[in-house]
Structures are given as structure tokens and as C-alpha cells.
């Protein structure tokens, strides 16, 4: 490999706070915070919103991930969906 052209590749702990799960791997990500790992060494820690411990595909549980209020922004812009009334049929026409 050519020296000086590749990013720094170092051990990093990725932590999923929602699931209480963390793992140590190598990455080019940098972080200002650090954590003491199980082996006694200190590594930078990167917090993630979704990992294999909390992703619906791997857990089989549905989960709403709302980052930065996107659902509320959608409802504010387009409104909430209306409930179907009891006296209307599925085509939207009133019954006699």
C-alpha cells in the first residue's frame, strides 16, 4: 500500500443504546468520546440508532424509528389520516 493516502483504520466500539448492545470492530470513524472495553483497553465509541440487535429484520419485531421528528413533520404537512366513518362503505359513498 502507498503510504500517506489511506485513512486511519483503528479499533472502534459501536454502541446501540436502544438495545443495550455494543461491539468492537475496526473502522475509520472518529469520536470524541471513549469507553473502556471488556479487555481493559480504552477505545473511541460511536453511538448508532440501529444495529443488528434492534433492527426489525433481525429481531422480528416492528419498530418505529423517528429521527428528528420526521413523523411529526409529515403529519404537520399532510395531516393525519382520517378514520373511516361507520355509515360509509369502503368506496367512500354514503349508505341509504
pTM for the whole thing?
0.55
Asked whether 54 and 19 are in contact (CB, 8 A), the reply is yes
Q: Where are the chain's structural domains?
A: 10-78
Residue 74: strand, helix, or coil: helix
* Mean pLDDT of the 4-29 span: 89
- Taking the alpha carbons of 2, 10, 30, 48 in that order, is the dihedral positive or negative? positive
Query: HEC states along 51-73?
Result: CCCCCHHHHCCCCCCCCCCHHHH
Which pLDDT tens digit goes with each residue over 57-74?
556 666 565 566 777 778
Amino acid at each position: 500500500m502507498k503510504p500517506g493516502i489511506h485513512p486511519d483504520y483503528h479499533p472502534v466500539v459501536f454502541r446501540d443504546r436502544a438495545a443495550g448492545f455494543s461491539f468492537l470492530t475496526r473502522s475509520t470513524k472518529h469520536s470524541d468520546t471513549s469507553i473502556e472495553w471488556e479487555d481493559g483497553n480504552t477505545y473511541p465509541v460511536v453511538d448508532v440508532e440501529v444495529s443488528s440487535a434492534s433492527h426489525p429484520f433481525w429481531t422480528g419485531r416492528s419498530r418505529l424509528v423517528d429521527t428528528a421528528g420526521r413523523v411529526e413533520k409529515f403529519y404537520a404537512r399532510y395531516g393525519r389520516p382520517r378514520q373511516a366513518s361507520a355509515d360509509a362503505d369502503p368506496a367512500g359513498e354514503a349508505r341509504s
